[in-house]
Structure 1
């Protein structure tokens, strides 16, 4: 089941102490700014909810996990302020995931591109299917994955980030992502993936919530500067998207 809403959809269901947050968009589960804002607010709200211990982040449908930020909005950027605001969308989501007091499990069932890779990287633990290939293609259109780079580097290291970003036109398969540390486990099919997500989330929800919260802080130690760093990076991307190179590349891509 996939949404056909232009602004996408976001649903949260809570069972026992597990909150499942599911996002969707007709364009390969990409994120318009309004949906990024909704996800940021939802994560901040769940962070304060004492009735839950664990969050599962997933997307709709059977194909892509997330195609990153909205291409239509990217093309429409006409000045630096708009550019910074657009790229700050993913910065705000990653910071909300980082500061959230709950452990976040990522359920990645399909391909992830750009910001979608950043979303997976900002989860605390990711289970994926073997269809969950990844790509950071930003350099091909004259920008770079600057906003999500810190989250990706934290999981796969500088060498992994370099390999992923500089080989911008090629996919890396799910087993590459697991080997590098982005995914914890990879399963043959989505049914198995869903069973394992359920088992893991229930197990985690049975643990001491205070211990989980403290563990979360430990896992994200040394990232306190991200609040300002990711917004600075959003400004870098905002400048680059206005370049002649990017305008031409986007026009070609659009055609």
Structure 2
């Protein structure tokens, strides 16, 4: 009985030891599992943190890139706005100058229109026309005087050769010479005057009478010249 008890105690000790070994083994297994689990968790956490860090970096790069693009766009927008302000300012100045020029042109056109429609322009036209006719009268007088000068030279030669000064051709020429003197007096008074009395109508009338006088003087000169030439030829012919 004693040995049985001792044997039973030994068996119990072995059982207890076996149980203790199992418990220790179970504890070691649980500790290893816990360690693996913790390691996996930390690995997962590390991966997650890495991903988060990567995402944060990507987001930061995107934000930085976006900020740079936004800053460039803002700079471009400010440049465009400043250029637009400059163009608007220049356009406003040019528009103002154009408006001033337009108003000045309108004033000049109105002044010109008033001048054209005024009596002063009519007076100016009449003065120009009168001056033109006066110039024609002056030229006409020179032509008539040229005819009279040639006639007087021939008449002196005729008188020197004892020609008949009472001849009708001679008297006619002298008559037109006197008429020319009167006409010249009137014409010179007209040419040298600025009076309204000697207007373009009056000047035109004087010019027409001068044309007629020139034709009459030329006819009288030619007739007298023919008479004188015949007389001088007869006198100079051998007797």
TM-score (norm 1): 0.24
| Higher RCO (C-alpha 8 Å, min separation 6) | 2
Higher helix proportion: 2
Higher strand proportion: 1
TM-score (norm 2): 0.25
Q: Larger radius of gyration, structure 1 or 2?
A: 2
